[in-house]
């Protein structure tokens, strides 16, 4: 456990998001829950604990520093964030652990995934983590300041399915592998990509980037 904690803290440091021992332990408790539920429910295809630590925790942690920078531009006010097609809570649950003043909602069409997120919120005492069992395009609720997604859909589909859930001035933060030029090229003209950030996830030999988008002002 403490070797995992050290690995997680060292990785977070490299990612520009230093985390405390307590936060690392909470993330490892989340990972343990994910492993336990995965024996019954198919929440993730990655089952090796070390691979889960890298491909799920560190990969999700890589968005924290960019999200912090974005929030600094908003005056650090509390925000509402929607994680679309959240599955086992990636990256939503990780964001909820590290940013208590971000109200995170995870939405997924699969009921057992929403049930798992509720369990995570209860067991890890995360009042800022909510779950919705729904198709995102059918959600009717107050809008969000940031909409994020990992391994959910093409950028065009993400935008099409979630646009009505964006608050004024809000944006999308999409996690992608290789720079998705072909996907960017098929975005509607009234959506602008205002920032593309390359991410380097420790111990992960794969490309990662973050695509920031917002409705274009025309």
154, 76 Cβ separation under 8 angstroms: no
Q: Is residue 90 close enough to count as binding ligand SAM by CB under 6 A?
A: yes
φ/ψ of residue 164, rounded to 5: -70, -10
Distance CA(86)–CA(172), nearest Å, equals: 15
Distance CA(136)–CA(41), nearest Å, equals: 21
Instruction: Among 34, 64, 71, 108, indicate the residue that binds ligand SAM (CB under 6 A).
Output: 108
Instruction: Among 70, 113, 176, 208, indicate the residue that binds ligand SAM (CB under 6 A).
Output: 113
- Contact stretch for ligand SAM (CB under 6 A) within 16-24, 82-90, 121-129, 184-192: 82-90
137 carries a ligand binding annotation: yes
Min CB(111)–ligand SAM separation in Å:
10
Give the count of residues interacting with ligand SAM (CB under 6 A): 19
Q: What's the distance, Cα to Cα, between the start and end of the chain in Å? A: 53
Q: Is residue 110 close enough to count as binding ligand SAM by CB under 6 A?
A: yes
136 carries a ligand binding annotation: yes
Give the H or E element holding residue 33: helix 21-38
User: Which positions from 149 through 188 interact with ligand SAM, judged by CB under 6 A?
Assistant: 150-152, 161
Cβ neighbours of 183 (radius 10 Å)? 18
Give the H or E element holding residue 160: helix 155-162
CA angle 158, 159, 165 (to 5 degrees): 100
Instruction: Among 67, 103, 107, 146, indicate the residue that binds ligand SAM (CB under 6 A).
Output: 107
Q: Is residue 86 close enough to count as binding ligand SAM by CB under 6 A?
A: yes
Min CB(212)–ligand SAM separation in Å:
18
Give the number of C-alpha atoms closer than 13 A to the C-alpha of residue 138, restricted to the C-beta side. Answer: 6
* Binding site members for S-adenosyl-L-methionine: 85, 90, 136-137, 150
Interface positions with ligand SAM (CB under 6 A):
44, 84-88, 90, 107-110, 113, 135-137, 150-152, 161
């Amino acid at each position: 456990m403490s070797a995992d904690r050290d690995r997680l803290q060292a990785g977070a440091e490299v990612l520009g998001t230093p985390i405390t021992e307590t936060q690392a332990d909470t993330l490892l408790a989340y990972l343990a829950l994910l492993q336990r539920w995965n024996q019954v429910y198919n929440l993730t295809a990655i089952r090796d604990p070390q691979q889960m630590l890298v491909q799920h925790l560190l990969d999700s942690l890589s968005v924290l520093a960019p999200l912090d920078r974005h929030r600094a531009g908003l005056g650090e006010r509390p925000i509402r964030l929607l994680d679309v097609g959240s599955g086992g809570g990636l990256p939503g649950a990780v964001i909820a652990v590290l940013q208590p003043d971000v109200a995170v909602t995870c939405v997924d069409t699969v009921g057992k995934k929403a049930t798992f997120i509720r369990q995570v919120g209860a067991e890890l005492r995360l009042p800022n983590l909510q779950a919705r069992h729904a198709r995102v395009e059918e959600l009717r609720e107050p809008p969000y300041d940031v909409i994020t997604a990992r391994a959910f859909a093409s950028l065009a589909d993400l935008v099409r399915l979630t646009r009505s859930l964006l608050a004024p001035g809000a944006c999308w933060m999409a996690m992608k592998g290789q720079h998705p030029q072909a996907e960017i090229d098929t975005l509607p003209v009234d959506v602008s990509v205002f920032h593309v950030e390359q991410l380097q996830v420790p111990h992960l030999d794969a490309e990662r980037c973050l695509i920031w988008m917002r409705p274009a002002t025309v």
